[in-house]
Amino acid sequence: MDDVMTARLVLHPISPAEAERVVAGRPGDGDRWAPGYPAEGDVSGAGRLLRACAETGDPRPFGTYEIRLREDGCAVGGVDFLGPPDEDGGVAIGYSLVPSARGRGYASEALRALLRLARELGVSRVRGDADHGNTASQRVMAAAGMRLVAEDERVKYYEISWDGPDRQEDPSKDPSEDRPEGPSESLPEGPSEDRPEGRALSR
């Protein structure tokens, strides 16, 4: 499967062999990892891909994407689908960045690209969530075109959809894609559930 390109990033769909290296924390020849990569959330995402491969086969394109900088190919985080589309065409997403890459708009840029890919793949709805105190993740999802649809005592739930009466604007039309969100990404993106390093999660 081809890489997904943005203005500043490459979303690389990791293979099972690459996922094994991430889980082991040992880069292979040619791998370029930023300090702090892979974080615990990246290891969790790679492990999820390996479990899917063992149980149902390679999940790509609905797998894990390594976020790399276009300028040097260095891996700074990950963004992924948490599984294939459900019976209603919906998917959940997760993402994370190493601390040194935060505050530059990379998370929203990567998430926006994943949303475009989801739409191209026929997905009708994408879900994500963040703890109440994780305003950074909430801003990232909002900047990528997702909207708050519900909340409970701990979590805020976000969605974007492309069918039905609540159809929303294509995130690819957002003119702010290449503008950093500044301090909104100064905190980890997402709740701590099973992605401690900041993967936004939906269940």
The tens digit of pLDDT for each residue in 46-64 reads: 999 999 999 999 999 999 9
For the residues of 114-174, what is the DSSP string, one character each? HHHHHHHTT--EEEEEEETT-HHHHHHHHHTT-EEEEE-SSEEEEEEESSSTT----GGG-
Residue 199 has pLDDT above 60, yes or no: no
Confidence band, pLDDT 50/70/90 cuts, at residue 1: confident
**Mean model confidence pLDDT for the chain:** 85
- % of the chain exceeding 90 in pLDDT: 77
The tens digit of pLDDT for each residue in 12-43 reads: 999 999 999 999 999 999 999 999 999 998 99
Classify 13 as helix, strand or coil: strand
| pLDDT at residue 167 in the model | 52
State phi, psi for 18 to the nearest 5 degrees: -65, -40
| pLDDT at residue 17 in the model | 96
Residue 45 has pLDDT above 60, yes or no: yes
Average pLDDT over residues 124-137: 94
Q: Please report the domains of the chain, with CATH numbers, ordered by start residue.
A: 4-185 (3.40.630.30)
| pLDDT at residue 110 in the model | 97
Residue 75 has pLDDT above 70, yes or no: yes
Q: Which one has a higher pLDDT value, 181 or 72? A: 72
| pLDDT at residue 177 in the model | 45
The tens digit of pLDDT for each residue in 158-196 reads: 999 987 544 555 554 544 444 444 333 433 444 333 333
Spell out the residues 6+ positions from residue 78 whose beta carbon is closer than 8 angstroms to its own: 38, 41, 42, 45, 46, 64, 65, 66, 67, 95, 96, 199
| pLDDT at residue 168 in the model | 53
Residue 143 has pLDDT above 70, yes or no: yes
Token pair in block for residue 6: 């943005």
